[in-house]
Amino acid sequence: MACIPTQFTTSDRRYRIVSHGNGWAYEITDTATGKTLWFQDDDAVQVQNNTNDFDDTESLSDYFACIDE
């Protein structure tokens, strides 16, 4: 049986997170810019921890700032 991805948005609705494989991977989209980041395996666990289960949107903004440099 295949795992169905789950989707949610941050409280400020800035980021849409799609969880694949029950947290094995995360696809995070900045809804203002349309840019997307992908994290899987240990990186997925780290981003979840670093953002306090995606509640810390400032930390999410920092991740996206890294790809703009």
Domain ranges within the chain, ordered by starting residue: 6-68
Consecutive 10-residue averages of pLDDT for the chain (69 residues): 84 97 94 96 96 96 88
The beta strands (E) that lie in 1-69 are given as: 6-9, 15-20, 25-30, 36-40
pLDDT at 9: 97
pTM of the model: 0.91
55 touches 10 (CB < 8 A): yes
Long-range own/partner contacts, residues 41-45 (CB < 8 A, 24 or more apart): none
Single-letter code of the amino acid located at 11: S
Largest CA distance in the chain: 41
- CA–CA gap between residue 53 and residue 11 (Å, rounded): 12
